[in-house]
Amino acid sequence: MTSYHSLRYYLSEQPSIVGFRWSHTQSWGSTWSFLFSSIALYVSAAVVLHVLLQLLFRHRRPLPLGPLPAVHSLSMALISATIFAGTVLSATAEIRDTRWLWRRSRTTTFQWLLCFPLGTRPSGRVFFWSYIYYLSRFLHALRSFITILRYRELPFFKLFNHSILIFMSFLWLEFSQSFQVLAILLTTLVYSVVYGYRFWTAIGLPSACFPFVVNCQILLLSCNLVCHFGVLLLHFIKGGCNGIGAWIFNSVLNGAILFLFLNFYVKKHLRKTKVGVIGGAGHELSFVAKKLELVKDKDI
């Protein structure tokens, strides 16, 4: 129990966590100008890197990256697991401390996770971990540069997806948006598994016999879609959820990501089928194996 109490203190009871407040003057990266300039810089740097590689190297062979992909995957797995644990402990503490306020409105724990009461401010434990999650999106975005170096392709879907994730996590804090606790829990749980798997394969251990990363992303998008319907339902039943305007915009962006991902996934499937019909079973197996390896690295 001593280890558990120490973990709970460092992840949810430290004064800096309990007293956290999202502020444009005190929180790094909390201004709109920083948000837009950082996304623009990220996209521009990716495009410049891609152009330079095209000019300097005419062949399309992957560049040797050494341990860089494995280090990035391990870092993301550990950070995601830490955010997940911190969010669970912090949400538990917040529920414990504020449950008495919910009795008049008959709010349950699950309802609070989906729908913050009107007037909720971005301060306290769960918003501290929401802030750490926001900062971790910048480290997550470095995956694009690894893809560009490895495959010499400009991954439009990845650039768009990472930019939107940075933007959405900023909105969560800026408008104290409902649903963010569950979204962080779902995302960090999936990412800790996905990046742990990527680290596993990056150090030479055997990979799964099916597109593991793609299936994880489909599961994550499906859970998010179900939860969004839950937020909308509670908004009308409970008389309003905090940050609903940002949630609507968030939902539109999630819909765009889902559309692009399904479009990408369907094209890959149709391409595999077409090659299988033309090239025969042996060639199909080789093509599918190669494409699955690409999908494992290019998704999320």
Highest average pLDDT, of 174-183, 237-246, 284-293, comes from 174-183
Can you tell me the mean pLDDT for 268-272?
61
The reported pLDDT for the residue numbered 277 is 43
Q: What's the pLDDT at 78? A: 97
The CA-based angle 125-218-151, given to 5 degrees, is: 100
Q: Which residue has the tokens 């494995």?
A: 70
Burial class (CB within 10 angstroms; exposed 0-12, middle 13-18, buried 19+) of 66: exposed
pLDDT in tens, 114-160: 888 888 899 999 999 999 999 999 999 999 999 898 888 888 888 98
User: Mind listing the pLDDT tens digit for each residue in 5-42?
Assistant: 888 899 999 999 999 999 998 889 999 999 999 999 99
The per-residue pLDDT for 263 is: 75
Give the pLDDT band (50/70/90) at residue 55: confident
Alpha helices in the chain (DSSP H): 2-8, 15-18, 32-56, 68-98, 109-114, 125-141, 143-151, 156-174, 180-202, 212-237, 244-298
Q: What are the sequence ranges of the domains in the chain?
A: 67-298
31 CB-near residues (< 8 Å, 6+ apart): 24
Q: Is the pLDDT score of 281 beyond 50?
A: no
pLDDT of 100 reads: 56
278: pLDDT strictly greater than 60:
no
* pLDDT for the residue numbered 232: 86
pTM: 0.85
230-240 mean pLDDT: 84
pLDDT score recorded for residue 71: 94
